[in-house]
Amino acid sequence: MRKPLEEMYGAETFAKTWAAWIDGVSEIEKRSDGNICKEVLPQVKCPTLIIHGEKDPMMPGFHADYLHKHIKGSRLHVMAEGKHNLHLRFAEEFNSLVEEFLITITSAKIEVNGVHLHYQQTGKGDHPLLLLPGALGSSQTDFGPQLKSLNKERFTVVSWDPRGYGRSIPPQREYPLDFYHTDAQDAVDLMNALHFRRFSLLGWSGGGIAALITASKYPSLVCKLVVWGANAYISQEDIVSLDKSVRDVSKWSEKMRKTMVEMYGAEYFTKTWAAWIDVINAFGKEPDGNMCRDILPQVKCPILIVHGEKDAVLLRDHADYLHEQIKGSRLHLMAEGKHNLHLQFAEEFNSLVEEFLMSQD
């Protein structure tokens, strides 16, 4: 370890310069509460990959955790056997990780309908896809395995943060009863702004509702549609299920809650989630709990409806209803799937979606 540095600098210069570096680090700790660059972290807006070796004797793991917490939307990758020089010790793994991060996904904002919408884009295929996230969802939190692994030769994949979600803040999220229609309009106008004339939609949960509305209103623009965890109405049984499973964020798993708090901060997350629960209850007071029942007969494109049989948030009745009401639709059940089946079983889900999108329906 010492030999390459002495060969580079000479023993005397190396020893003197290293001692000066140690003194400088010690002085920073004394002068400014150990601050090296804490204040700049909130200004880091570009996609950031933080890598940490769990066996690094020089840099404890809490430093990587701190960076991840304070750089919004950052990605943290931990290498179990990595030490401080992990890029040399595990060069192939490190290079592959960095190449995947740098090459495959671009991240940007574009003004649409008066809002600067954040989106991510990957792939160079001639079949554009737009991924629509669920409640409080974002490209970063909801579609990592799809951005990473959907076929980039066949598809150009775009994933976005709807207004008030993820990195499309401001504005703050609002929930009038027509907010899914607003998301649908923004989705179409985003793809137009990106110069995609026709495209397919993949919508999860609330994103599935917005996707259904989009397909019904713009049949000439939408090639195919995939929805999962989506519903056209809300019943009292559904409201009871939501109250039991997700209303109280303090009862969420630590992993689920941590992701949202890191993205939004505890106050915005709690307030916005409560507002979403309130509007879902408001839908329950509409005739027949209507959310988008009326538009289903206008969905004319080929559609794949996916449902996880262990979904604790949405009953199977909703998938069956969509299948019955949308002529020619295809229903696929995943026996072990939960509400986030595309994350749980990403490889199976991606394969299913690619087969559907590439078929000659």
Question: Is 74 part of the annotated catalytic residue set?
Answer: no
Candidate list 142, 161, 186, 311, residue with the active-site label: 311
Three-state SS string across the chain, please? CHHHHHHHHCHHHHHHHHHHHHHHHHHHHHHCCCCCCHHHHHHCCCCCEEEEECCCCCCCHHHHHHHHHHCCCCEEEEECCCCCCHHHHCHHHHHHHHHHHHHHCEEEEEEECCEEEEEEEECCCCEEEEEECCCCCCHHHHCHHHHHHCCCCCEEEEEEECCCCCCCCCCCCCCCCCHHHHHHHHHHHHHHHCCCCCEEEEEECHHHHHHHHHHHHCCCCEEEEEEECCCCECCHHHHHHHHHHCCCHHHCCHHHHHHHHHHHCHHHHHHHHHHHHHHHHHHHCCHHHECCHHHHHHCCCCEEEEEECCCCCCCHHHHHHHHHHCCCCEEEEECCCCCCHHHHCHHHHHHHHHHHHHCCC
Candidate list 159, 205, 216, 329, residue with the active-site label: 205
Residue type, 342: H
Residue appearing with tokens 């229903």? 331
Question: Is 159 part of the annotated catalytic residue set?
Answer: no
Question: Is 320 part of the annotated catalytic residue set?
Answer: no
Candidate list 118, 127, 318, 339, residue with the active-site label: 339
Query: What residues are labeled active site?
Result: 205, 311, 339
